[in-house]
Structure 1
Amino acid sequence: MYSKNTGPCSINNCTIPTNRFRIITELAYEKCQKKNMLELYPYLHIGQQLCHSHYCKIIEVDRGQRKSNKKLKKKIVEPTELIDNSNNNTDTVFSSNVKIMTKVLYEQQRRKCADLELDPIKFKNMIEDANPQLKGFFNYMVNTIIPKERSAHNQNEAKKSIVGLCYLIAGLRNKFVNQHKLEVGLYLMASGATWESIDTISTLGYSACAKTVEEYRKKIQKEHVTKIEKHFMENKNILHIYNIDDYHSIHEVRRPDTVSTSLAKHFATCVAKPVNEFPSVPLVFNGIFIHNPLNVEAPRICCSIG
């Protein structure tokens, strides 16, 4: 059983009332030497006792400072806080780039009426040319999402998905950046998807709603007629070779329902190829009307072939 230190305090004229005393050990004496406390108290020796207050002032004079310095060092080198700070900076830059990209894609769709760009290289050049602050953003997305272990072909194919992802992110930030969603919805509608299925996919954020897609389809149809008329008005003096491919597909439904008993498809493909080297054929040439009232004359064709 250890004996209790009962004093007295070895400091001259110590009048501190206490019953707590500490003995000066070899380690405590070395601390005094390192801190130059023996210059103030040269009469202290190993084995003497000090009251608790003088022991803290002489032996452990820098104890509070050592604890605060230790906490400060620990706080500085703590990896989690360094990671958090870097993440905050990364999040800020990423958020800023998404905001800028959304504005660029909005300008491309709503102001410039540009077509949807799905080629990764052209898309990257488009956003970087529109705003130099986006330089490196597309590459950052690619390096973050696509693993380096993939083959070059698979990486190039995955970059196309990154382009679609950029359009989806911009659409989430601004609902009017919906060019990509409209094209997806238009493809679904052309593939025979029902309005309910398109609305379901729209809820997931991958497509526009069916009503918006239908309005977009009617707009394309109306603008297409205008474009065709404008083209022929501007190029009426150039020869055009016009080809019509009329397609019919009528199949019987094996299990007809109360709605339909057959499935018929009909569409016509019209192709007009301009020939810039030749002028257009006049409607009346040498007093002869260009249209043959007899339509197709087999004897003339046979004579020409023979």
Structure 2
Amino acid sequence: MEGGSTHGSSKRCMVKICKGSPTETWKKITNNVLIKAEANRTLASYYRDHKDEYICMGCYNAIVVNTASSFKEHALNWDNGLKRHRNSFSISESISLLTNFIFEREVLDGEPPVFSFSQLRLIAVNKNNDLIFFFDQIEEMACLDKKTEAEKRELERSLAYQCYLMCWNQSRVIPLWNLHESEMGSDYFSWVDGVNVLSKFLYDREKVEQKPAIYSFKELRKEMVAKDIRLSSFFNSIYNATLLDKKSDKYLDKLDKRLVVECYIICGNQNSKLMAFKEDISLFLDLIGLSAKALDALLHAGITISRRHLDRKKIEIANNHSSLIESYLENNKYNALALNVDDYHNIHAKRMPNTCSTSTMAHMTTLLLNRINITAIPQMTLNNASIHNPKLIDFELICNTLDHFYMERMAKTFNDRFYYETFLDEKLENLTLHNYDARITERQEERKMKDTILLDFFELKLEDVVSYISALQRVYENSLLNNYLTNSVIPVIADWPGQVFI
């Protein structure tokens, strides 16, 4: 059962990241709660150990209803922590590993000491992944999950010193720095230094490595800090300036993209040759119909490129499209592919009749290919049978499914199926036919267009079988797809009436 109850002194929320907000409503952890949490990927394994205990309404909504990102991350980190704990070293063994690492880094290689706990953790774990559990234990003992961002910043230097002190107690060769000395020295890495270093890395990534812009602050931070650990403090200053403890989880998800935009704008002011981000923004604004004057106005704000530059970019994209398709098909020749055939009409065009036609409206056809992260679908099964159903529409299979699955359930009334006493919330959930919000959230990653490519775009009115065959003929004209279809099949996704015509 999952019913609410009034606040009692004996009740305590067992979620480890609970913020402890005052509440008068509690939820019992039932099988239903565990099943939904597992479906939402917010299930930390220790919830099962506390079955029939209570959680506060705020944690219940975050776990079951809203699928909060922080609770997803907590569940993932908890399960990963259990795996590491089973295979981790003892504290003394971890200190020995860290001592050897610091000795090699600072005594043999002459590197400066690390005054920040987060930086020390990142450097040490990159060197030896077995130290993760050791640093997790230190964070747990310091109760970092209950500290504010300001308190965490104050503990950065103290926790790093404690790590050095434990290593120094094991080996006096390790240099032990003074906890109370100022960090501001000749090796101080300023915020301006961070902009300079990040600008150089982004320039090399765009011009030398020919890679696109990154639109996730977390991904940008991970990739750049791996190249230079000093950038950790630079990204921390940008992230902490947003006052995270006062923001909701939904706002933090949006913030991930806003912060990366700020990084590109800041570095673009330092190096005007960083164009990948500006080109993407300009192409998007041009697509939604922004005027040339507005685009040039944003150029002076350092956000977009000029109209002439944009025209050259579009010509370049069009010329490179065929090679882009070849590269896409070559890289995904062992993956399953799905083809979408759809029509496009510029129905908002002005109707200007002339001697030949009454309208300038065009009927276009789009062919989209989407990669699926499974192996290619073979034409023949393991027992050498075709995957195609020779009956096309098997009415016997449909009737049997309707009779034995749906009709048996529909023949019973709601009270017959649930005659026992249940809480109102559970009754309402059983009456729910489909939760579209949960479905969309659950399949959010699959709904993205990042693995989709435009195979072709041409003028054709999809209105009968002949037109759909003509559209599919474009697929067979591609040599790589033709070879792909000799052994594998590509499911075709189409709306009505394409489903009938194909």
Q: TM-score range by the shorter chain?
A: 0.5 to 0.7
- Indicate whether 1:142 and 2:239 are aligned: yes
Residues 349, 360 of structure 2: 8 Å contact kept: yes
- Give the match for residue 220 of structure 2: 123
CA distance in 2, matches of 1:195, 1:235: 38
Structure 1 unaligned regions, length at least 5: 1-84, 281-293, 297-306
- Per the alignment, residue 180 of structure 1 pairs with 277
In the TM superposition, 1:151-166 aligns within 5 A as 151-166=248-263
Partner of 1:278: 378
- What amino acid is aligned across from residue 174 of structure 1 in structure 2? N
Which residue identity does 1:278 align to in structure 2?
P
Alignment of 1:130-279 (within 5 A): 130-146=227-243, 148-232=245-329, 242-251=339-348, 253=350, 264=361, 266-272=363-369, 276-278=376-378
Separation in 2, partners of 1:255, 1:186: 28
Find the aligned partners of 1:124 and 1:237 in 2 and give their Cα distance.
32
TM-aligned CA deviation for residue 252 of structure 1: 6.0
Which structure has more RCO (C-alpha within 8 Å, separation ≥ 6)? 2
More strand, by proportion? 1
Residues 339 and 367 of structure 2 are in contact (CA less than 8 Å); yes or no, is this contact kept in structure 1?
A: yes
TM-score for the superposition, normalised by structure 2: 0.34
- Say which SS state the counterpart of residue 135 (structure 1) adopts: helix
Work out the CA distance in 2 between the residues paired with 1:278 and 1:151: 46
3-state SS in 1 of match to 2:303:
coil
Q: What are the Cα deviations for residues 219-269 of structure 1, in whole angstroms up to 9, with x where unaligned?
A: 22222211213445677799966443222233464999xxxx966355432
Q: Is the 8 A contact 2:352 2:359 kept in 1?
A: no
**Amino acid aligned to 2:294:** S
Matched residues in 2 for 1:133 and 1:115: separation?
24
Q: Is the 8 A contact 1:171 1:177 kept in 2?
A: yes
In structure 2, the CA distance between the partners of 1:87 and 1:231, relative to structure 1 (3 Å rule), is closer
Aligned-residue CA RMSD (Å): 3.9
Aligned residues of 2:344 and 2:365 also touching (Cα < 8 A): yes
Say which SS state the counterpart of residue 347 (structure 2) adopts: strand
Q: 1:115 to 1:150 in 2, by over 3 A?
A: same
Q: 1:232 to 1:87 in 2, by over 3 A?
A: closer
Superposed displacement of residue 152, structure 1: 3.1
The alignment's TM-score, normalised by the length of structure 1, stands at 0.53
Identity %: 22
Alignment check: 8 A CA contact 2:213 2:277 kept: yes
Q: Give the Cα separation in 1 of the matches to 2:249 and 2:333.
A: 48
Q: Distance in 1 between matches of 2:185 and 2:328?
A: 54
State the Cα distance separating 1:134 from its structure 2 match: 0.8
Report the residue type matching 1:102 in the other structure. S
Q: 1:234 to 1:145 in 2, by over 3 A?
A: closer
User: Residues 130 and 194 from structure 1, CA distance in 2 versus in 1: closer, same or farther, beyond 3 angstroms?
Assistant: same
Amino acid aligned to 2:343: D
Summarize deviations over 1:84-111 as a string: whole Å, max 9, x none.
x99999x960010000000011111111
Q: Is the 8 A contact 1:146 1:155 kept in 2?
A: no
State the alpha-carbon separation in 2 of the partners of residues 196 and 220 from structure 1. 23
What's the counterpart of residue 109 of structure 1? 206
Q: Aligned partner of 1:167: which letter?
A: Y
Letter in 1 for 2:223: M
Instruction: Give the 3 Å change call, closer, same or farther, for CA 88–201 of structure 1 in structure 2.
Output: farther
Q: How much does 1:195 deviate?
A: 1.5
